[in-house]
Amino acid sequence: MAAQKGKDLLLKIDDGTGNFVTVAGMRTQRMAINADAVDSTSADSIGGWRELLANAGLRRATISGTGLFKDAASDALMRQAFFDGDIRNWQIVVPSFGTIQALFQISALDWRGDYNSELTFELSLESAGPLVFTAMRG
């Protein structure tokens, strides 16, 4: 995959009707997918080397980023999802790679406003179910 522009990474939320809307003008985004290792080492392990149990650990995804709300509607949608504690369907669109879709809950939503600058926000999402990856066709 050739180098991509970071600004082309899109974060979308289900608006409650099954339609995905782009959340905001994201300036930075980060997605981390993790799986905990389960140590199954015993006295019988060859040479005392650690052994891991396959497919046994907790898997999770975390998304975080900063940006500008693109309009009052996307601001209200995210704010309401946070205050209601909703678990919503989200999409992360990675250009020339594919789309990751899953249920996420907003775990943090922070606003920041400097005196002579625009209002920005920071967002953190925690996965609440399995991730579905759809490869980009092309």
> pLDDT tens digits for 2-61?
665 555 678 889 988 999 988 876 777 788 888 888 999 998 999 889 998 888 888 999
Q: 106: which 2 tokens?
A: 């907003």
pLDDT at 74: 79
pTM of this structure: 0.81
133 or 69, higher pLDDT: 133
pLDDT at 86: 93
Section 75-95 average pLDDT: 89
3-state SS assignment for residue 51 = coil
Q: Are 103 and 87 in contact, with CB atoms under 8 Å apart?
A: yes
Of the chain, the end-to-end C-alpha distance in Å amounts to 12
pLDDT in tens, 111-132: 888 888 888 889 999 999 999 9
pLDDT at 138: 63
What does the radius of gyration of the chain's CA atoms come to, in whole angstroms? 19
Complete domains list, the chain, with CATH = 6-135 (2.30.110)
Q: State how far the Cα of 25 lies from the Cα of 121, in Å rounded to an integer.
A: 10
**C-alpha torsion angle, residues 103, 28, 121, 19 (rounded to 10):** -40
Beta-bridged to residue 93, according to DSSP, are 10, 99
